[in-house]
Amino acid sequence: MSKVIDGKAVAAAVLEECRSEVAEMRSNGITPGLAVVLVGSDPASQVYVGSKARTCEDLGIYSRKIELPEETTQEELIKVVEELNADSAIHGILVQSPPPKHIDEEAVIRTIDPRKDVDGFHPENVAKLALEDSSGFVPCTPAGCMRLLKEADVETKGANAVVIGRSMIVGKPMALLLMAKGSDATVTVAHSRSRDLPGICRQADIVIAAVGRPEMVTADWVKDGAVVIDVGINRVDDATKKRGYRLTGDVAYEEVAAKCAAITPVPGGVGPMTIAMLMKNTLKAAKQLSS
């Protein structure tokens, strides 16, 4: 039987750590603050932003939600970010992705003070990750995956890790974290253009699936006893569901779970970790800015 890595439980534990830290910081006169900027009215983004704000409030983190109309210009958005950069009540700034098409997302990210860049997308934090400088912010999803591996007692040292996907949000930072000193995995980054993806994946002790294709990783891709972290969250039509779809990861869960040593479910695996690591990053920012 395979061991399910319970992301909900680990995320809850991380949030309890955060709650204690917030209490201690507040007793020292520092209230950590997170600003989330949402441009437009994408329903999924509204759900995410609402969930981040509620989590903050639950932990005692000051939360500011800034909702801007769809037609906000790039200059207006950058002005909002600059005001947040200068606002001492705000330690973390996040611009919800994706912004409307007329906004240059990378340009906006570059205007965030890197010390408040709790998403870890600013070039300065990207560089710190590559340079193994721990003062930077690690993007929340790969940071969450690393925490899950740790909590599941997975040995990364000398392990063969295969990361499927090469995005700057997950694949590349994940690879950099796994190959860094201390983690010491042998890391392969595979992607849609890789030859014999199943064969590459079969050699992995640790599989990180972050490619966004529902149930692509099937049992014949995974070696007995591997650990599988499923970052994908895909909607698949399902007439038996009231809402008409179900959520599924990049891994064919049932068949892979039957042969691997440990696996994250979807939902309830990596998903809950992302927001928990965002809270961690916000506290780190508040501590660094206050010290």
What is the closest distance, in whole angstroms, from the C-beta atom of residue 252 to a copy of itself in the complex?
22
Of the candidate residues 29, 75, 157, 240, the single one contacting a copy of itself (CB under 8 A): 157
User: Considering the rule CB under 8 A, would residue 193 count as an interface residue with a copy of itself?
Assistant: yes
Closest listed residue to residue 43, CA positions, set 96, 107, 115, 7: 96
User: Considering the rule CB under 8 A, would residue 107 count as an interface residue with a copy of itself?
Assistant: no
Of the candidate residues 22, 37, 148, 190, the single one contacting a copy of itself (CB under 8 A): 190
Residue 223 annotated in active site: no
User: Considering the rule CB under 8 A, would residue 243 count as an interface residue with a copy of itself?
Assistant: no
Nearer Cβ to a copy of itself, position 76 or 155? 155
Which tokens is 115 given?
């010390």
Q: Annotate 225-244 with b (16+ C-beta within 10 A) or e (fewer).
A: ebbbbbbbbbeeeeeeeeee
Name the binding residues for NADP(+).
165-167, 233
- Binding residues for a copy of itself, rule CB under 8 A, total 30
Active site amino acids: 52, 96, 119
Q: Under the rule (CB under 8 A), what is the footprint of a copy of itself? A: 106, 123-124, 126-128, 130-131, 157-160, 166, 168, 172, 175-176, 179, 184, 186-191, 193-195, 200, 203
